[in-house]
Amino acid sequence: MIEIRGLEKYFGALQVLKGIDLDVAKGEVLSVIGASGSGKSTLLYCINGLEPIQKGSVIVDGTDVHAKGTDINKLRQKLGMVFQQWNSFPHLTALENVALAPKIVKGKSKAEARDIAERQLRHVGLDDKLNVFPSALSGGQQQRLAIARALAMEPTYMLFDEATSALDPELVGEVLDTMRLLAEEGMTMICVTHEMGFARDVSDRVAYFHQGVMEEIGPPEQIFGNATSGHTRKFLANVR
Amino acid sequence: MFDYNFHWRPVLKNLPDLLGAGLLTLQVAVLAMVVGIVIGLAIALIRMHMRGPLYWLATGWVELARNTPALFQLFFFGFGLGAFGLHLSPFAIVLCGLSFNCAGYLAENFRGGFQAVPETQLRAARSLGMTAWQAYTRIIIPQVFRIVYHPLTNQLVWAVLMSSLGMLVGFRELSGETQFFASRTFRIFEYFAATAVIYYVIVKIILLASRLLAARLFRY
């Protein structure tokens, strides 16, 4: 379970998160929507400790992410992350991209890591690309590679930071399908997304962020059909 | 009008000595590069991530190494330290001087290389639970090395040629050895012409080796 309490985050003098309270239960799929600059991506970075926070707390399975004594590298193994810009490692093959972290972070043997990598690449439909370098993959394939790489650490949670925003329109579908597959398998997911169809169809809850505040959270039917906040309604009217 | 008679025999007789000195030249240049790479990397990282005395030390190093003559840097380790009673061997003087110079230039190369690797690569690596050390050694630095590989080769060539300054601090590398024989026989032109060819061959071998190594190292 992820418990966020009174989270405040500043970049210099600019406050990007203004006191967020949010619980995400195991097995839940939460979509986070909102305009650019609303703080939704920053929220993800605060959850896995890639950004320090100024106030409040983030507790993952009972461990305070931002506490001094926390072994953040160990905790991050529970929190897989997929980025907008894919971030495949260009100097490694698809297989090596996925096998590296299990090997050096978890201490798996070469053979074990290879097995894991092959399994996860099959999982995302890239089993014919094992020895291909990322430069020879399409954006959609690279993003699926990034998903496989995160899954190889056997995380409890998956954080998606606008996983489809940088993709050509015709490649969005394959990545969303992979994310749907994970949701069906029961993965706990927090998806920062601009894909309203995905948010509506796949998530258990949808949160709307506006200027650093979580304006509204609820089941998709409520957010998309019957939003109480004027900001939410306006945003949704504009993206449709 | 032109009545110089070439005498190549003494050169041929000393060719083994010259080739041996060429090996010494290559040795000191390669060693200086190794030291220069380690220190240059450290300087680049310090200048990018730290403030305070270490930052100023690193910055001062780059400024001095790049903006003063390499010969003066060699003199510093020779006569400069000598004035304070610290006497290095000619080999050590040249190694220190070249390393100092290479580290300064390489630091700037590395800085460019680091800036060319997207910051998000580090985030991606850290998000997988890698330590900062693992992320740098496995993800960032391999990419940086690819970017700076050709500048690195250039620097090695430069180090080979620059090591000829060693003859001015009494180091009998290729140029020093040539000077030694030339002044004994007065066949100055012949000796230095032969040595120029040896330098040329050394550099060509380096360039070829570098190209072969690149083909092996960089698979993407």
Closest Cβ–Cβ partner in B118, B127, B219 for A50: B127
- Is the pLDDT at B11 greater than 90? The verdict is no
Nearest to A191 by CA among A164, A217, A226: A164
pLDDT at B187 (0 to 100)? 86
Residue to test with chain B: of A44, A91, A190, most B Cβ within 10 A: A91
Closest partner CB to A87 (pick from B121, B142, B218): B121
Residue B214 pLDDT level (bands cut at 50, 70, 90): very high
- Residue pairs between chains A and B whose CB atoms are closer than 8 Å: 65
Ranked by mean pLDDT, the top range of A68-72, A225-229, B215-219 is A68-72
Residue of B118, B134, B143 lying closest to A104 (CB–CB): B134
Among A29, A28, A58, CA closest to A43:
A58
Question: Cβ of B117 under 8 Å from any chain A Cβ?
Answer: no
Please check the confidence at residue A30 and state whether its pLDDT lies above 70: yes
If DSSP codes are grouped into helix, strand and coil, which group holds residue A182? helix
The lowest-confidence range among A81-85, A221-225, B17-21, B111-115 is B17-21
Structural domain range at position A135: 26-48+70-239
**pTM exceeds 0.80 for this model:** yes
pLDDT digits (tens, 9 = 90+) for B152-198: 999 999 999 999 998 898 888 889 888 888 888 888 888 898 899 99
A16 domain-assigned = no
Asked whether residue A2 is assigned to any structural domain, the reply reads: no
- Give the torsion sign (CA, A215, A54, A24, A117): positive
Q: What is the pLDDT of residues A93-119, one digit of tens each?
A: 999 999 999 999 999 999 999 999 999
Least confident of A81-95, B8-22, B206-220: B8-22
For residue A166, what pLDDT band results from cuts at 50, 70 and 90? Answer: confident
A104–B121 C-beta distance less than 8 A: no
Domain count for chain A, please give it: 1
Burial string for A116-134 (b: 16+ CB within 10 Å, else e) reads bbbebbebbebeebbebbb
In a domain, A153, yes or no: yes
The answer to whether the CB atoms of B129 and A149 lie below 8 A apart is no
User: Each residue of B93-142: pLDDT tens digit?
Assistant: 999 999 999 999 999 999 999 999 999 999 999 999 999 999 999 999 99
In this predicted model, what pLDDT tens digit does every residue of B194-210 receive, in sequence order?
899 999 999 999 999 99
> From the CA of A147, how many Å to the nearest CA of chain B?
11
Q: How distant is the Cα of A44 from the closest Cα of chain B, in angstroms?
A: 11
Between B90-116 and B141-162, two packed helices, what is the crossing angle to 10 degrees? 150
User: Is the residue at A79 inside a domain?
Assistant: yes
What is the predicted pLDDT for the residue at A22?
A: 96
What's the pLDDT score for residue B172? 87
Q: How far apart are CA A144 and CA A167, in angstroms?
A: 12
Q: Measured between CB atoms, does B137 come within 8 Å of chain A?
A: no
Q: Is B126 in Cβ contact with A76 (below 8 Å)?
A: yes
Three-class SS string for B91-145?
Answer: HHHHHHHHHHHHHHHHHHHHHHHHHHCCHHHHHHHHHCCCCHHHHHHHHHHHHHH
- Supply φ then ψ for residue A191, to 5 degrees: -115, 110
**Cα–Cα dist B158/B168, whole Å:** 17
Query: Rounded to a whole number, what is the distance in Å from the CA of B132 to chain A's nearest CA?
Result: 9
Mean pLDDT for all residues in chain B: 92
Q: Which two tokens stand for residue B85?
A: 């009673």
Chain B residues within an 8 Å CB radius of A101: 128-130
C-alpha distances out from residue B32 to A81, B93, B125, B190, Å: 42, 11, 32, 29
SS3 state at A70: coil
**Given an 8 Å threshold on Cβ–Cβ distance, is A91 in contact with B220?**
yes
Q: Is residue A147 part of a domain?
A: yes
Q: Are strands A29-34 and A55-60 parallel, antiparallel or unpaired?
A: unpaired
Q: Edge to edge, what strands does the sheet with A55-60 contain?
A: A14-24, A2-11, A55-60, A63-64
Domain boundaries, chain B: 11-217
* pLDDT of amino acid B1: 61
Q: Which residues of A touch B124 (CB under 8 A)?
A: 81, 83, 87, 89, 146
Give the angle subtended at the CA of B138 by the CAs of B106 and A115, to the nearest 5°.
Answer: 160
**Could you say which of 3.40.50.2300, 3.30.1180.20, 1.10.3720.10, 3.30.200.20 is the CATH number of the domain covering B11-217?**
1.10.3720.10
- B89 touches A at CB < 8 Å: no
pLDDT number for residue A240: 66
Cβ-Cβ contacts under 8 Å, A87 against chain B: 118, 120-121, 123-124
Residue A133: list chain B partners with CB under 8 A. Answer: 219-220
pLDDT for the residue B58: 96
Residues B128, A74: C-beta atoms closer than 8 Å: no
Residue A61 lies in a domain: no
Beta-carbon separation of B123 and A83 below 8 A: yes
Give CA separation, A240 vs A111, A193, A236, A237, B35, in Å.
48, 14, 6, 6, 60
Q: With an 8 Å Cβ cutoff, are B127 and A104 in contact?
A: no
CA distance A180 to chain B (A): 22
Flag whether A108 is in a domain. yes
Q: What is the Cα–Cα distance from B44 to B56, expressed in whole angstroms?
A: 12
Q: Is A30 on the interface with B (CB under 8 A)?
A: no
Residue spans of alpha helices (H) in chain B = 9-49, 53-67, 70-75, 81-83, 90-116, 119-127, 132-134, 141-162, 174-185, 188-217
